[in-house]
């Protein structure tokens, strides 16, 4: 058996963060940090099974500034973050055969965006709590520099990343142990190849869960639950294969469809010491 030893060397990963209280229950913060991601073993191997010593780990700098705070006597909670991550030696998978990939460094990429969360306690009493919320992320990730052979992808949107993700939800909890959780998710379109010539369609999903929790003889905690996923029976792409390639007479398969409307139920019992 032939063995090879290879190391990426030492990586310096500094991080600095600051937080400032601007009022009661309200804070702004900022941070700068450096990170890295090493290739998986399968990505480091060439089609011949040798270690690709030209492959480098991803190196990234992340910049954030954000706000967290409570309003209206702590009924409203708000959170927002602006971020920008700059990646060098971006790792992507290049398909070389059916179900065979090799890792390559694709130059550099830029990942700016905003994340946010809002929730409001419409009702907060000893008997019932009702809290609607909205959360999401909006971004514009793109290749800064990426030339693959004769193909020029610099400036294109990053493959396999939706431009937005929004989640509208409602949580209801009662003193009797009954609860309802509902969420309506919106996922934006995403490019399926580096050339940005093929995109998925945006879609939305409605999920609902109902549960009832109670104790037996003060020592057994029991919960029954039931619900429905994709309640509106939407057709959507659950996952994609970036830069899919067809072999022989087969067409490239870029995506795998998500589940249609489906129902679930279950129960759990735990012992309280």
Residues 6+ apart with CB under 8 A from 20: 27, 28, 29
Q: Cα(first)–Cα(last) distance of the chain, in Å?
A: 54
Tens of pLDDT, residues 195-223: 999 999 999 999 999 999 988 877 888 99
* Closest to 143 in 3D by CA, of 133, 129, 157: 157
Tens of pLDDT, residues 223-240: 999 999 999 999 999 988
Tens of pLDDT, residues 77-131: 999 999 999 999 887 766 655 556 677 777 899 999 999 999 999 999 999 999 9
pTM of the model: 0.82
């Amino acid at each position: 058996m032939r063995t090879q030893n290879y190391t990426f060397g030492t990586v310096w990963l500094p991080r600095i963060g600051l937080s400032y209280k601007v009022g009661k229950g309200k804070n702004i913060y900022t941070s700068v940090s450096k990170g890295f991601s090493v290739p998986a073993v399968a990505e480091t191997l060439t089609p011949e099974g040798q270690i690709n010593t030209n492959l480098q780990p991803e190196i990234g700098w992340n910049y954030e500034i954000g706000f967290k705070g409570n309003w209206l006597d702590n009924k409203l909670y708000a959170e927002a973050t602006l971020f920008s991550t700059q990646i060098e030696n971006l790792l992507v998978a290049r398909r070389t055969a059916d179900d065979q990939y090799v890792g390559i460094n694709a130059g550099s990429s830029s990942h700016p965006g905003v994340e946010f969360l809002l929730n409001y306690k419409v009702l907060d009493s000893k008997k019932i709590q009702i809290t609607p919320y909205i959360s999401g992320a909006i971004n514009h990730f793109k290749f800064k520099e990426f030339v693959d052979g004769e193909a020029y992808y610099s400036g294109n949107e990053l493959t396999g990343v939706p431009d937005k993700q929004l989640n509208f939800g409602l949580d209801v909890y009662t003193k009797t142990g009954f609860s309802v959780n509902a969420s309506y998710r919106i996922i934006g379109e995403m490019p399926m190849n580096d050339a940005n010539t093929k995109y998925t369609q945006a879609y939305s999903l409605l999920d609902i869960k109902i549960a009832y929790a109670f104790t037996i003889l003060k020592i057994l905690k029991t919960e029954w639950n039931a619900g429905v996923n994709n309640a509106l029976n939407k057709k959507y792409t659950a996952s994609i294969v970036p830069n899919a390639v067809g072999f022989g007479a087969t067409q490239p398969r870029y995506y795998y469809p998500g589940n249609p409307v489906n129902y679930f139920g279950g129960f759990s019992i735990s012992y309280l010491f």
